[in-house]
Amino acid sequence: MWELICHHTYKWGGRPVDISRYDNSAEISGRFFLKDGIAPGSGAWRFVTPTSHVRVFPGRAWNPLVAIKVELTVRKTEPSTNSQTLIEGDNSFGVFVNAQKLFGYFFGKSIYPGMNSDGLNTYQDGIDFPGYRIPFGKWVVLTFVHDGFSQMRLYADGIPVTVPRAVLAGIPPVGPKGISIGNGLDGGAPFGGDIDEVKVWRVDPYANIRQFIARPADKATMKCWERFSASVNKALAKYPDCAIKLDIDFAAILERLARAIVAKGPETQQRFFHVQQEFDRLWRVGHIGGPEMAKLFADWIAWLRLVGISIETDPDLRAFQSSTCLKLLLGEIEKFDCDPKFTALLKLIGKALGQSTAHSTAV
Calculate ∠ Cα 15-87-72, nearest 5°: 70
> Is the pLDDT score of 362 beyond 60?
no
Report residue 239's pLDDT band, with 50, 70 and 90 as the boundaries: very high
pLDDT digits (tens, 9 = 90+) for 192-232: 999 999 999 999 888 888 888 888 888 888 888 888 889 99
Enter the pTM of the model. 0.81
Stated as kind and residue range, the H or E segment containing 259 is helix 240-262
Where is average pLDDT lowest: 91-105, 110-124, 133-147, 348-362? 348-362
Q: What is the pLDDT of residue 359?
A: 36
pLDDT by residue (tens digit) across 172-187?
999 999 999 999 999 8
> Taking 80 as the threshold, does the pLDDT of residue 54 lie above it?
yes
Q: How many CA atoms lie within 13 A of 291 on its CB side?
A: 0
CB atoms within 10 A of CB 183: 27
pLDDT of 351 > 90? The answer is: no
The pLDDT tens digits for 2-11 are 999 999 999 9
The reported pLDDT for the residue numbered 104 is 98
Compute the mean pLDDT over every residue in the chain, rounded to the nearest whole number.
90
Separation CA 45–CA 193 (nearest Å): 8
149 CB-near residues (< 8 Å, 6+ apart): 67, 167, 170, 255, 258, 259, 262
Structure confidence at residue 355 (pLDDT): 53
